[in-house]
């Protein structure tokens, strides 16, 4: 009730001069009530008491209902013409969402087509795009890395832009060779630590082990944890099959162990996928794990009351016509 009174107190009209019709209508009704009753035509009918016994007499209050509805409809129409606008105050807004950075490996090994005919990177990009679209309430950013790393997109709610940027990247866009996982985590940490959100997450996807960079994965993961960042690591590759010329047979195993240790140190989890379905399921699992409540502020706005008043006027006129044509019909 208090909020309703606040809204009414701030009610504004775009054309308030129309409101002068309301006292004019009130004066006309009073004139008809005091001076028009004597001139009202009627029919003399004997035995009114019998009509009441037969339940045919109309209650005076009910008999006045059609006229009341008609005048209320006219009043609602006048108010609509005045263009009333009610302010909607700012209010707290709660939504599911977190601040999340997505780090994608763009090293040359991601070109291998061992994901059911797709390259590892194409499969990862498809799963990442689906993941982005499934979390509209999150601020998300994009980081790419190989021997070096850079932020392709800072944290944003513009997921259409983020989708376009994900589509535009390809393996090899960073000239430095190798896979600097520790440096990628450090870059993402620098982006996320400035966030005011209580929930910060890094999702890192790679197909190899850390083999370059000034900071190791474990050191970077500890630093991320100190800044309240959880790391979810995804190993996208096979432990068998064709390997790059600069790789060793132990690279996949070593890479998985590094990713698992990073996730453990930061309080996250590690996943592994060797086909597109597995990648999609992995991102779906991360999506289910990372659901939290963030509160924001909905800005105030203005509500136009014109359509609601016109609707009310139309309904009251329809009711008046229905009653005047049936049970509450007046003759003459």
Q: What pLDDT score does 49 carry?
A: 61
Same domain? 152 vs 180: yes
Q: Specify the CATH number for the domain of residue 174.
A: 3.40.50.410
Q: What is the mean pLDDT of the chain?
A: 79
Is 59 inside any structural domain? yes
Q: What is the pTM of this model?
A: 0.58
Tokens read off for 133: 């679209």
Domain with 318, as residue range(s), is 2-89+300-324
In a domain, 8, yes or no: yes
C-beta separation of 125 from 190 below 8 A? no
* Res. 149: pLDDT tops 80: yes
Q: Is residue 331 part of a domain?
A: no
Q: 74 and 49, same structural domain?
A: yes
User: Is there a domain that residue 129 lies in?
Assistant: yes
For 154, other C-beta atoms within 10 Å of its C-beta total 13
Decide if 32 contacts 68 (C-beta within 8 A).
no
Same domain, 190 and 78: no
**Torsion over CA of 234, 138, 128 and 264, rounded to 10 degrees?**
0
Please count the structural domains in the chain.
Answer: 2
Chain segment 46-71, per-residue pLDDT in tens: 555 655 555 555 666 666 777 788 88
Same domain, 69 and 109: no
Q: Is residue 332 part of a domain?
A: no
Phi, psi (rounded to 5 degrees) for 166: -60, -40
pLDDT in tens, 242-293: 334 333 344 567 888 999 999 999 999 999 888 788 888 888 888 877 665 4
Q: How many residues does the chain have?
A: 332
Identify which has the larger pLDDT, 23 or 106: 106
Please give the residue that has the higher pLDDT: either 19 or 297.
Answer: 19
pLDDT of the residue at 117: 85
Residue 26 has pLDDT above 80, yes or no: no
Q: Indicate whether 29 and 63 sit together in one domain.
A: yes
Same domain, 143 and 217: yes
Q: Measure the CA–CA gap between 255 and 89, rounded to whole angstroms.
A: 53
pLDDT at 301: 66
What tokens appear for 290 in the block?
């990372």
């Amino acid at each position: 009730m208090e909020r309703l009174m606040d809204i009414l107190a701030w009610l504004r009209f775009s054309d308030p001069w129309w409101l002068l019709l309301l006292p004019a209508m009130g004066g006309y009704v009073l004139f008809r009530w005091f001076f028009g009753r004597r001139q009202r035509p009627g029919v003399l009918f004997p035995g009114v008491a019998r009509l009441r016994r037969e339940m045919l007499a109309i209650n005076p209050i009910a008999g006045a209902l059609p006229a009341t509805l008609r005048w209320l409809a006219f009043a609602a129409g006048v108010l609509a013409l005045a263009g009333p606008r009610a302010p909607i105050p700012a209010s707290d807004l709660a939504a599911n969402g977190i601040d999340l950075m997505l780090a994608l490996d763009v090293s040359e090994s991601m070109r291998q087509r061992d994901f059911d005919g797709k390259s590892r990177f194409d499969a990862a990009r498809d799963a990442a795009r689906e993941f982005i679209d499934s979390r509209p309430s999150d601020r998300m950013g994009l980081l790419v890395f190989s021997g070096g790393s850079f932020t392709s997109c800072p944290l944003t709610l513009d997921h259409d832009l983020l989708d376009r940027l994900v589509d535009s990247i390809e393996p090899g866009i960073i000239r430095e060779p190798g896979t600097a996982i520790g440096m990628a985590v450090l870059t993402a940490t620098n982006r996320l630590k400035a966030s005011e959100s209580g929930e910060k997450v890094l999702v890192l996807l790679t197909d190899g082990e850390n083999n370059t960079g000034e900071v190791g994965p474990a050191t970077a993961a500890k630093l991320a944890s100190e800044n309240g960042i959880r790391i979810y690591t995804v190993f996208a590759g096979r432990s068998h099959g064709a390997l790059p010329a600069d790789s060793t047979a132990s690279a996949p195993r070593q890479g998985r162990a590094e990713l698992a240790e990073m996730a453990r140190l930061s309080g996250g989890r590690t996943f592994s996928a060797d086909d597109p379905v597995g990648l999609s399921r992995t991102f779906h699992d991360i999506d289910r794990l990372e659901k939290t409540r963030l509160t924001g502020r909905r800005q105030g706005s203005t509500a136009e009351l014109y359509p609601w008043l016109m609707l009310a006027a139309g309904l009251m006129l329809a009711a008046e016509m229905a009653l005047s044509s049936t049970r509450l019909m007046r003759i003459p």
